[in-house]
Structure 1
Amino acid sequence: MNLDNPIFKKPITEVIKARTSMRSYNGVPLDKTIGDSIIDVINQVKAPFGTNIRVKLINSKDSDLKLGTYGVIKGTSTFIVSSVPKSDNALVDLGYSLERAVLYATDLNLGTCWLGGTFNKGQFAEVMELKDNEILPIIIPVGYSSEARRGMDTFVRFMAGSKNRKAWSKLFFDVDFNTPLKELESLEYFIPLQMVRLAPSAANKQPWRIIKSSNSYDFYLEQSKDSKSDSYNDMHKIDIGIAMCHFELTSAELGLEGHWEKLQLSSQDNKKYIISWVRK
C-alpha cells in the first residue's frame, strides 16, 4: 500500500467528491499517452484476492464491429474493457482495481461511467477475445466531458437517485449488526467511511455494510432476498470492491496502516461476509 498515493495530484478525498457518472462527452479523442497511463494504473494494482484481470483500452472507431451502448453514451469512442475468471471474488477485485483507474481519470479531469448492462456484450467480448472461463461484466467509457451535459445524464441520475445516500446508521455498525456505529466512535476512520458512502454502485443500492470490530473493519455485502436476483447480487460485488478502494486510498492518505484479510467470519442473514481491513 502506498501511503502517499503518488498517482494522484489532488487529495484523494477531493478526487472522490469530484467523481461523477458522465454519459456525455465532447468528442475530443483521448490522448494515447493518457490512455496508456490509465491501463498502467490498473495493471499495477495488487487486488486483495489476487484475481488475474485482463484489461484493454478499446477505441470503437478502430473496430469493424458495432461496439454500441444503446445511445446511453455519446461523444466518446474510448472504453476501458476488462475480463475476469469465473471465480467467487473476481468481481470484488474488478471493482477495487478499476475504481482506482476511474479516480485517476477523474484526477486528470476526465469523465467516466460504470456500465453494467447498457452495452453490446457480445461485440465487446469478441474484441476482448473473451475466454471460455471468463466474464466481461462491465465497461467504462472515458473521455473529456461535454460542456453541456445532456438531459440523459440528468434523467439517469434522477432515476437512480445518485445524490441520495443512505444514513450512516444504516451502513456502519459497532461489533454486530444490532448496534449502529456512532460517528464519533469511528475516530480516525471517520473520513475513510465517509468516502465509502460516496462510492458509486449499481442502481445506487449502496450494498456495503461494515462492522467495526476490535482490530478490524469487516466488509459485508447486503444481498437481495429475492432468489431471482442472483445476477444482481453478483454485480454488487463490484460495488463492494469500489467501496474497498475508496476506504483504502483514503486510509493511506491519512497514514492509517492496515491490510486486507479474509478472517474466519460468517455471513449473517442476507449479509455476506467479504473481507476485513485489519488495522496495524
Structure 2
Amino acid sequence: MDIDKIIKERHSVRAYIEKNIEQNIIDEINKDIEEYNAIGDLNIQFITNEPNAFGKSFLADFGKFKNASNYIALIGRKCDKLDEKIGYFGEKLVIKAQSLGLNTCWVGGTYSKKNTKYDIKKDEKLVCVIAIGYGENNGKERKLKDISSVASSDVEMPDWFLKGVEFALYAPTALNQQRYKITLKDNKVEIVSKLGFYTKVDLGIIKCHFELGAGKEHYSFKY
C-alpha cells in the first residue's frame, strides 16, 4: 500500500454511483473494524445497502448527498477520549477504504435514532458517520496551510517530523478548519487542537495522519 499516494489522493466525496460494494471488500473492512473495536473499546459498525441512510429518518437536515447507501457508524462507550478515538480509528478505516478503491466522506450532524440499522447501547454514543462507496468522482483538492503555520520545533525540524506534519496537513477536518498545532520540544511531539466544531474528532484524525507520516518509533497515538 503506497500510503503517501493514498493520503494525497483521498478527498471527501458526497455523490456516489449505484454500485454495491463487493463482499470481499466488506469482509476486509469488517476485519479491521473488529480489530479496532477490541483495541479501542468501540462499537463501530459497517452498514451497507441502506437507501435511507442519509434521508430525514437518519441524518436530519443534512443534504447534498447522492446515492449514499453505505456508511460506517462510529459508536463507542461514553468516555473523555471517545471523540478522539473515533477520529483516530475512523480515519484508519477511511484510508483503508481509499486503498480498496472506495471513496468516503466524514459526516457530523444531528442524528435520528429512528429506523436505523446500527445497534447502540445505553452507555454508548454515536459520534459521527462515514459515508462510503464508489464515488462519481474522486472529490476536489482543498487548500492546505503551510507547515510553518501549524508546526514548530525547538530544533531544526527533522525529516520524520516534517513528514508527519505533511501527512497531518492532508487530514480532513470539520469545515476544513485545520485548527491544530504540532510542536516538537525536547524530542517530544505534542499535538493539540483549538476549540471548535468537532475539533476533538479532528484531533484523532490528525494524530492518525501524523503517526503514519512520522512512524510509530517517533510518535504513537495513546488511547
So what's the TM-score if we normalise by structure 1?
0.69
SS at match of 2:166: helix
| Cα drift, residue 68 of structure 1 | 5.1
Aligned mates of 1:143, 1:243 — CA distance in 2:
23
Q: 1:259 to 1:170 in 2, by over 3 A?
A: closer
SS at match of 1:44: helix
1:218 equivalent to 2:190? Answer: yes
| Cα drift, residue 164 of structure 1 | 2.2
SS at match of 1:75: coil
Correspondence 1:105-184 to 2 at 5 A:
105-117=97-109, 120-123=111-114, 126-147=116-137, 163-175=142-154
Give the aligned CA root-mean-square deviation in angstroms: 2.8
Counterpart contact for 2:84–2:201, Cα < 8 Å: yes
| Cα drift, residue 133 of structure 1 | 2.0
Q: 1:215 to 1:144 in 2, by over 3 A?
A: same
Aligned mates of 1:79, 1:187 — CA distance in 2:
36
Aligned residues: 219
Runs of 4+ with >3 A deviation: 65-71, 258-262
Per-residue CA shift, 1:86-135, capped at 9, x if unaligned?
21111111111011110111111211000001x643237x5323222221
| Cα drift, residue 193 of structure 1 | 1.0
| Cα drift, residue 46 of structure 1 | 8.2
**Residue number among 88, 100, 104 corresponding to 2:96 in the alignment:** 104
Match of 1:57 in 2: 46
Aligned mates of 1:261, 1:32 — CA distance in 2:
31
SS at match of 2:157: helix
Q: In structure 2, what residue type is equivalent to 1:140? A: I
Q: 1:207 to 1:245 in 2, by over 3 A?
A: same
Aligned mates of 1:223, 1:246 — CA distance in 2:
20
Aligned mates of 1:45, 1:55 — CA distance in 2:
8
Per-residue CA shift, 1:197-237, capped at 9, x if unaligned?
1100001111221110122111111125xxxxxxx3xx211
Match of 2:209 in 1: 246
Per-residue CA shift, 1:45-98, capped at 9, x if unaligned?
489xx64110111131499x9445743221231111121122111111111101
Give identity over the alignment, percent. 26
Match of 2:9 in 1: 18
Aligned mates of 1:189, 1:259 — CA distance in 2:
9
SS at match of 1:139: strand
- Unpaired runs of 5+ residues, structure 2, are none
Q: 1:209 to 1:203 in 2, by over 3 A?
A: same
